[in-house]
Amino acid sequence: MSANPAAGGLFRPGILSRFTVPHRIVMAPLTRNRAGADGVPSVLAVDYYAQRASAALIVSESTSVSASGVGYPRTPALFTDAQVEGWRVVTEAVHGRGGRIFAQLCHNGRVSHPSFHAGVLPVAPSAIAPPGQAMTTEGLQPFRVPRALTAAEVEGTVEQFAAAASRAMAAGFDGVEIHGASGFLVDQFLRDGSNRRTDRYGGSIEKRARFLLDVVEAVGERCGFDRVGVRLSPLSHVNGMFDSTPWETFAFAAATLNTAGLAYLHLMRRNDAAGTPQHFRIENLRRYYRGVLVMNGGYDRASGDEAIRTGEVDFISYGTAFLANPDLPERLRRGAPLNAPDKATFYTGGARGYLDYPALAHDTSPGG
Ligand SMILES: Cc1cc2nc3c(=O)[nH]c(=O)nc-3n(C[C@H](O)[C@H](O)[C@H](O)COP(=O)(O)O)c2cc1C
């Protein structure tokens, strides 16, 4: 019997991938732009992730599957041996603290700039530029119209995801999360605002989802499907994303993924354009996806607890709260105050705003 009123919620043990985990608090993927120019995670990342090893699962920051997939400065990758070796030190540190870590695998597609590709245009499903500006090493620059991938290149890109998944396993990750959210390449294929293809990767919802499903299939064959998660953001308009029938698109994706035997489906529930009316209640995708559901976006302790307690979702991922609180599960368990995130250091280099968020002072008093 537990005196903890939260025992039925966030602090109920659960099963995630091949692990029994002590609670339902996942660390959401967080890009921090502190890797080397060669895509090798910095030595600072070792401590940063190890500090957060009490998560039920850490999902790493977005990690490029190939050179053509890079779209932000100083982001890590998994296409060279040096990158694998850099990540190996991170995964060993997390495992040394008893944690579990998946690599978030991403291709940025059109959310990139020629300056990352020796002057060559970024690639995308269709030659449609996203609105706004790319974050480059020389500051913000307007997005360019990308070059549409040929069908053979699409197949090659699926293989890039599979190769990166193999490298993730070689680097000691416990699994991978396919980044299908926030307007990057997988999302660009899924939604009709960015996919005007007329071949087998575009047109109907089934064809637009083919790239995602081919990536899932190829990655699952390399790692085991129960080591693969997928992240989707059905309501997000970030990076100019739009779909004319979002409910149908994402219900199809959820229903199809339901049969894949994945570790989990990770949904971002909030629209990035704050206040934009939601077209549908994202939790209703549960009807189509019966496996482990990780929900993200704007949760605090009470709302996270409630969502788990009602069975609406299985895990909650926390982004900014985990960024600022290396010991977030312990703070939530105790109902302790949280450090506030410092936005000014989200995407800057260095240890400040990265390694210096304090953990709670260890309380050794009886009952502490
Ligand atoms: C600094 C920062 C970096 C992020 N990087 C990623 C990323 O690499 N991959 C991703 O899928 N989402 C990324 N996100 C989104 C977060 O995973 C999460 O969805 C968002 O912070 C909302 O969750 P929260 O309300 O708990 O903070 C990032 C968010 C922030 C604030």
Q: pTM value?
A: 0.96
Distance 182 CA to ligand 1 centre (A): 10
258/41 Cα distance (integer angstroms): 33
Distance 266 CA to ligand 1 centre (A): 12
Distance 363 CA to ligand 1 centre (A): 31
Distance 328 CA to ligand 1 centre (A): 16
Pocket probe for ligand 1: among 178, 316, 320, 345, the residue whose CB has the most ligand atoms within 8 Å is 320
Instruction: For residue 102, give both structure tokens.
Output: 């998946």
Would you say residue 5 has pLDDT above 70? Answer: no
**pLDDT per residue over 103-131, tens digit each?**
999 999 999 999 999 999 999 999 999 99
Residue in the block written with tokens 């690599």: 103
Pocket of ligand 1 (CB under 6 A): 28-31, 61-62, 104, 179, 181-182, 231, 268, 296-298, 318-321, 346
Would you say residue 11 has pLDDT above 90? Answer: yes
**pLDDT per residue over 163-190, tens digit each?**
999 999 999 999 999 999 999 999 999 9
Quickly count: other Cβ atoms within 10 Å of residue 334's Cβ.
Answer: 13
**pLDDT per residue over 138-154, tens digit each?**
999 999 999 999 999 99
Distance 319 CA to ligand 1 centre (A): 5
How many whole angstroms from its chain centre is CA 327?
Answer: 20
360/324 Cα distance (integer angstroms): 12
Would you say residue 237 has pLDDT above 70? Answer: yes
Domains of the chain: 14-345 (3.20.20.70)
CA distances 218 to 5, 52, 62, 160, 314, Å, are: 43, 30, 19, 10, 26
Phi, psi dihedral angles at 101 (to 5 degrees): -145, 130
Tell me the pLDDT band of 282, cut-offs 50, 70 and 90: confident
282 burial class (0-12, 13-18, 19+ CB within 10 angstroms)?
buried
